[in-house]
Amino acid sequence: MAAAGDTTTAGTGGADGDDDAGATGSGAVGATGAAGAGGSGSAVPDAGTGEAAGGDSAAQLSEAAAELAAQRVERERIAQRKAEKKGPVESGAKLSGTAADLLAAIRAVESGEKPAATVFADPEPAPHRAPAPEPVHRPESAPATAAPPMPAAEAVTAVRGVLADGGAPESLAPQVAAALGEGADTLLREDPWQLLRVTGVRPDQADGFARALLGAECGPDDERRGRAVTGWLLEQAAVAGHTALEMPALTAALAQRAVPDPEEAVQSALAEGEALVFQDVLDPGAPEPEDDEEERPVRVLVGLERYALAEESLADGLARLVNSLAKDASEPWEAAAAAASGGAAELARAVAGHGLVLHTGGEAARAEPAALLTAARAAGLRAFAAAHAPDGGLRLTSGEGTVGTVADLLAGVTGPGRDADGALDLDLLIVLDAPQLDVEGAAVLVEALPDGARLVLSGDPAMLWSSGPGRVFADLLAARVCPQIASRTPDPGPLGELVSGIGVGELTQVEAPGKEVVIVPVRDAGEAVHRTVQLVADSVPRAIGVPAEQTVVITPGHGGAAGTRALNAALKERLNPGPGRFGGFDPGDRIAYSPAPGRTVPGQVVKADAEGLHLSCAGAPVVVPKERVEQSVRHGWALTAHQAAGSRWPAAVVVLPGDAVQSLSRPWVYTAFSRAERHLSVVHGVDQALAKAVAESLPKPRTTRLPLLLKTQVPAAN
pLDDT in tens, 183-234: 999 999 999 999 999 988 999 999 999 999 999 888 889 999 999 999 999 9
Around 55, how many Cα atoms within 13 Å sit in the side-chain half-sphere? 0
Percent of the residues in the chain that have a pLDDT greater than 90, as a whole number: 56
Contacts of 296 (CB under 8 A, 6+ apart): 281, 282, 283, 286, 288, 289
pLDDT of 682: 97
Contacts of 679 (CB under 8 A, 6+ apart): 4, 515, 516, 517, 518, 540, 544, 546, 650, 651, 652
Over residues 121-133, mean pLDDT: 39
The Cα-based distances of 49 to 52, 246, 339, 704 in angstroms read: 7, 8, 47, 10
**595 pLDDT above the threshold of 80:** yes
Alpha helices in 484-537 (DSSP H): 493-503, 525-534
Is 573 in contact with 545 (CB distance < 8 Å)? no
**529 pLDDT above the threshold of 60:** yes
pLDDT of 294: 60
The Cα-based distances of 653 to 53, 520, 636, 691 in angstroms read: 43, 10, 13, 18
Beta sheet of 551-554, edge-to-edge order = 517-521, 676-684, 649-656, 551-554, 638-639
| Mean pLDDT for all residues in the chain | 80
Q: How confident is the model at residue 15 (pLDDT cuts 50, 70, 90)?
A: very low
**101 pLDDT above the threshold of 70:** no
**239 pLDDT above the threshold of 80:** yes
Over residues 424-438, mean pLDDT: 94
**284 pLDDT above the threshold of 90:** no
**78 pLDDT above the threshold of 70:** no
**Range of weakest confidence among 68-72, 332-336, 623-627:** 68-72
pLDDT of 86: 42
Closest by CA position to 435, among listed 410, 405, 460, 455: 460
DSSP of 128-167, one letter per residue?
A: S-PSPBPPP-------TT--PPPPPHHHHHHHHHHHHHTT
**Range of weakest confidence among 57-66, 260-269, 402-411, 481-490:** 57-66
**79 pLDDT above the threshold of 60:** no
DSSP of 259-276, one letter per residue?
A: -S-HHHHHHHHHHTTSSE
Over residues 21-33, mean pLDDT: 34
Cα 694 from Cα 680, distance rounded (Å): 17
pLDDT of 290: 61
Q: How confident is the model at residue 62 (pLDDT cuts 50, 70, 90)?
A: very low
Q: How confident is the model at residue 598 (pLDDT cuts 50, 70, 90)?
A: confident
Closest by CA position to 122, among listed 200, 34, 202, 48: 202
Closest by CA position to 449, among listed 466, 463, 472, 428: 428
pTM here?
A: 0.78
pLDDT of 676: 96
Give tens-digit pLDDT for 373-400. 999 999 999 999 999 988 876 666 555 5
Give tens-digit pLDDT for 478-525. 999 999 999 999 999 999 999 999 999 999 889 999 999 999 999 999
Give tens-digit pLDDT for 660-671. 898 899 999 999
**89 pLDDT above the threshold of 80:** no
Highest mean pLDDT among 95-109, 112-126, 288-302, 533-547: 533-547
Cα 23 from Cα 509, distance rounded (Å): 14
pLDDT of 548: 96
pLDDT of 411: 86
pLDDT of 69: 52
Radius of gyration from C-alpha coordinates of the chain: 25
DSSP of 534-549, one letter per residue?
A: HIIIIIIIIII---GG
**Range of weakest confidence among 265-269, 354-358, 596-600:** 596-600
Q: Across the strands, what pairs with 604?
A: 590, 616
Q: How confident is the model at residue 653 (pLDDT cuts 50, 70, 90)?
A: very high
* Torsions phi, psi for 388 (to 5 deg): -70, -40
The Cα-based distances of 201 to 102, 130, 156, 480, 586 in angstroms read: 11, 21, 18, 40, 32
pLDDT of 402: 82
pLDDT of 74: 52
Q: Provide the angle, in degrees to the nearest 10, between the axes of the packed helices 262-271 and 65-84.
A: 30
Q: Provide the angle, in degrees to the nearest 10, between the axes of the packed helices 439-447 and 305-323.
A: 40
Give tens-digit pLDDT for 39-61. 333 333 333 333 333 334 333 43
pLDDT of 36: 31
**447 pLDDT above the threshold of 70:** yes
Residue 675 per-residue DSSP state: T
Count the residues in the chain: 718
pLDDT of 631: 82
**567 pLDDT above the threshold of 60:** yes
Q: Provide the angle, in degrees to the nearest 10, between the axes of the packed helices 367-378 and 343-353.
A: 60
**260 pLDDT above the threshold of 80:** yes
Over residues 619-630, mean pLDDT: 88
**13 pLDDT above the threshold of 60:** no
Residue 211: Cβ within 10 Å count: 16
